[in-house]
Structure 1
Amino acid sequence: MKAKEEWINVATEALTKAYVPYSHFPVGACLVTKAGKIYQGLNIENASYGLANCAERTAFFKAVSEGEREFSHLVVAGHTPEPISPCGACRQVMAEFCSPEMPVTLVGDNGVTKETTVGELLPYSFTDKDFD
């Protein structure tokens, strides 16, 4: 199996694990480090809606909590007719840890995909360079 197919499968499989009793809108993610390690993420809701966490941020927080800082690819999957798009908060987290050129694969139902980059998803992002 090719690597990207595996990553799409990891993200899609996460849809079945998502904890979404309120929105019923599962999202899955697969974050790949430059060393090839895979981190699966899924969205986790809470009755206090503001305390929910998105799939993308779950994957990043898992990886960063284990010392990872260099990433090569992100896949985001959802049960949407067209490829799903990350929310603004997730895009900002992506901008914190990834180069603007890092590839991102967005996946919808029936395997429809869109290839993009972190920079295309969040142009003019707020980064550490803004502190100079």
Structure 2
Amino acid sequence: MSALSPSPSSSIDPTAARDLLARAREVRANAYAPYSRFHVGAALLAADGRVFTGCNVENASYGLANCAERVAIGKAVSEGAREFLAIAVTGPEEVTPCAPCGACRQVLYEFGPDMPLIMPSPGPDGYEVTSVGALLPGAFGPARLAESQGGK
């Protein structure tokens, strides 16, 4: 486990974790990253068993780039999925954890603060698990909006 506020790896089946990580590595090859050359892949497991993948898509206007995690979420939502069991994210290195950026953490939090996040690791399992909420303490989420609107 890394210093990324790990949660118990028992929160996801090891076979499922490795499968999601393999899918993330596979889609990483499709990344469009001519500027950073930092290829990222993500694989998102929906509650209905479907897996939605995404890779980063950069743009010459840097702020318009799309991260792999947000591409996967966008694909899933556009296909009707709203509940997710886990997400795997991998960067260019095979065994180095690649945590989502702040914007992706916020988007993932919207759909599951407790969602397990799987990243590659040099450890004996080949992966580590944390949660979206652990990576974004004090997140602004739907519950906060409800509070400000009098619980509506």
Scaled by the length of structure 2, the TM-score of the pair is 0.80
Rg larger in 1 or in 2? 2
Residues 42 and 87, structure 2, Cα contact 8 Å, conserved in 1: yes
Partner of 2:130: 116
Residue 48 (structure 2) pairs with residue 57 (structure 1): no
Q: Which of the pair has the greater relative contact order for Cα pairs under 8 Å at 6+ separation?
A: 2
Residues 77 and 108, structure 1, Cα contact 8 Å, conserved in 2: no
Alpha-carbon offset, residue 88 of structure 1: 0.1
Partner of 1:11: 24
Picking from 88, 103, 108, the partner of 2:102 is 88
C-alpha distance in 1 between matches for 2:27 and 2:41:
5
Could you say what secondary structure the match of 1:73 adopts?
Answer: strand
Deviation by residue 1:11-56 (Cα, 9 ceiling, x = unmatched): 0011110000111000000000011100011000011111100000
Q: Which structure shows the bigger proportion of residues in strand conformation?
A: 1
Query: How many residues are aligned here?
Result: 131
Alpha-carbon offset, residue 76 of structure 1: 0.2
Q: Are the structure 2 counterparts of residues 112 and 2 from structure 1 closer, same or farther at C-alpha, using a change threshold of 3 Å?
A: closer
Q: Are the structure 2 counterparts of residues 108 and 20 from structure 1 closer, same or farther at C-alpha, using a change threshold of 3 Å?
A: farther
Residues 73 and 102, structure 1, Cα contact 8 Å, conserved in 2: yes
Residues 84 and 108, structure 1, Cα contact 8 Å, conserved in 2: no
Partner of 1:102: 115
Percent of aligned pairs sharing the same letter? 48
Structure 1 gaps, min length 5: none
Residues 44 and 52, structure 2, Cα contact 8 Å, conserved in 1: yes
Structure 2 gaps, min length 5: 1-13, 148-152
Residue 58 (structure 2) pairs with residue 48 (structure 1): no
Scaled by the length of structure 1, the TM-score of the pair is 0.91
